Amino acid sequence: MATIRNVAAKAGVSIATVSRYINHNGYVSEKAQQKIEAAIASLDYLPNEVARSLSTKTSSLVGVIVPDLRNPYFPQLVEGVEKELKQDHYGILLGSTDQREEFEDYLDKLLQNNVVGIISAVGLQPERTLKIPFVEVDRISGETGYSVTTNDYQGGQLIAQHLLATSSMQHIAIVKGPQRVDKSMNRLRGILDGLAKQKSLKIEQITTSTFSLKDAKVVWEVLDQYSELPDTIIASNDLYAIIIMQKLIERGVRVPEDVQIFGYDGIDFIDIVSPRITTIKQPIYRLGVQTADLLLDIVAQRPISEKHQVLDVAYAPGKTLRL
């Protein structure tokens, strides 16, 4: 890999001259610029963004922190963020955690790399005041200054509405997700409010500490303890819905004839699963794009009409409900 020293030698100029040219922080003659450009092209030299940020105390990098990259939801979200930022010539530094201590460690590392702003999807606020833009996406805390999320109460209401249109529903298990996450609680509230008119329904709730794969086993262990399986399972995300469906089919349970399943998120992955999961579709990619746009507006000090943006969700029919 070519270095700045190689470029300087090829161009016949000093390292300092190449540094001034790359970092745009001093005079470089037109003749020297042409030599440097030719050397960069012939050597396929790519400036080290992190090294540049250390010397200039600025960068074209944005920090992005998500809770779980194993869930296809978050790579789709990050894709929206990254592609939108790329149009303004920004790149990302990506980290994955939902633990407070690790979250603070990531913040330190991002600040050390002089990122221009941070996008966080973990629902945790920094324990210190940041001097750079900080935007929360998807999971948000109650103290955020800027955020973009989706209407989870609306999503819960849509689930209830479409379940009430199905046949032979008497016993529902709701995998509600972690209680510390407002999104899961808002969704649960929407479901319960929507089902309230059906007084005869038996409704049970299953709590998990996260939305990640590690807790999918916990969900199944709880379901396995039931003397009789519920005829309807509402999963906290599409990933859980797929895992639950696989377990049921392995045991000879028919989906949706014996047990119907409702997912949440609308990840691309469900298009290759059979039967296709019925779900609530969040505008995942758009969520990432809108968050990136909000951050860029803050960085550029443009007027911001909405500091807290909420996107609608939609019902996405599949083959796992009894109609």
Sign of the alpha-carbon torsion through 255, 260, 266, 267: negative
The segments of the chain whose pLDDT lies below 70 read: 1, 23-25, 46-58
Element holding 315 (H helix, E strand): strand 314-316
DSSP single-letter state for residue 265: B
Q: Per-residue pLDDT tens for 256-275? A: 999 999 999 999 989 899 99
Residue of 81, 103, 24, 100 whose CA lies nearest to 58: 24
Place domain 61-150+284-311 in its CATH homologous superfamily.
Answer: Response regulator (3.40.50.2300)
- Dmax (CA) of the chain: 84
Buried/exposed code over 73-91 (b: 16+ C-beta within 10 A; e: otherwise): bbbbbbebbbebbeeeebe
- Per-residue pLDDT at 24: 65
The predicted structure's pLDDT at residue 5: 84
Question: Would you state the pLDDT for residue 54?
Answer: 47
Query: Residue 308's beta-bridge partner residues?
Result: 147
**Structurally, what CATH architecture does the domain formed by 152-282 represent?**
3-Layer(aba) Sandwich (3.40)
**Contacts of residue 131, Cβ cutoff 8 Å, sequence gap at least 6:** none
Tell me if 61-150+284-311 shares its fold with 152-282: yes
Q: Is 183 within 8 Å of 215 (Cβ atoms)?
A: no
CATH architecture, domain defined by 4-47: Orthogonal Bundle (1.10)
Give the residue extent of every domain in the chain.
4-47, 61-150+284-311, 152-282
Give the Cα separation of 39 and 37 in Å (integer): 5
At 116-155, the pLDDT tens digits run 999 999 999 998 889 899 999 999 987 778 999 999 999 9
Q: Are strands 61-66 and 232-234 parallel, antiparallel or unpaired?
A: unpaired
Q: What is the pLDDT of residue 216?
A: 74
